[in-house]
Amino acid sequence: MTKLVPGVVAALGVALLVPLSAVAAQPFPDPVADASLAATKGSETAVLAGGCFWGVEAVFDHLKGVKNVVAGFSGGSKSTAHYETVSTGRTGHAESVKITYDPSRVTYGQLLKIFFSVAHDPTELNRQGPDEGTQYRSAIFYENAEQKKVAEAYIQQLNQSHVFRRPIVTQVTPFQSFYAAESYHQNFVEKNPTYPYVVYNDLPKLGHLKKEYPNLYRR
């Protein structure tokens, strides 16, 4: 994430405070192709990339049915899975989150609905807000055939419905590995609610989640 001085933050804040719903041309639909809720409790994982992992982690931390969220890196090798190295944009990694969830409480498709409508803008190529580079790309790292099917079908559904004013550029790619980021990146929004970047880029996402999806929001 870009290091911002107060003056720059203030200048960017006007644009960044616009909720993601303003980017969409119409309300978000549920995914047509999605698995039903599981009959019994369990644990499954989803790995998603949508710009700076601070805000994406915070959004899913407040989603019912999610057990744990870890900020980290996916798409590159273990030897380069370090924040300063990933920040060069030359490692193949994307800042990502690994979400562990209970499929009896929330489906993979519902996670993707929040990913597309709240967590980030999937029409921005290799950037999110003030952050630029391939490490900030939008990506879904699917772990099995069902996740791939749901992801590809939902992207096609959203594009065909013109939910966004621009085409979705999210990559749907096979999961290979995930490496947790340094400890100071974990739960960053919760620990630093007054940090300027968080105030202007991440807290509005939580407000949007709470307002638009009160049935899925948890404190």
What sign does the CA torsion over 164, 212, 106, 30 have? negative
> For tokens 């290799």, what's the residue?
126
Q: Are 55 and 131 spatial neighbours (Cβ–Cβ below 8 Å)?
A: no
Question: CA-to-CA distance for 122 and 137, rounded, in angstroms?
Answer: 9
Question: Which of 12, 47, 52, 198 is flagged as catalytic?
Answer: 52
Q: Are 181 and 82 spatial neighbours (Cβ–Cβ below 8 Å)?
A: no
Question: CA-to-CA distance for 94 and 101, rounded, in angstroms?
Answer: 21
Look up 52 and say whether it is catalytic.
yes
Alpha carbon dihedral 202, 109, 22, 58, in 10-degree steps, equals -10
Q: What are phi and psi of 169, to 5 degrees?
A: -110, 10
Query: Active-site residues: which are they?
Result: 52
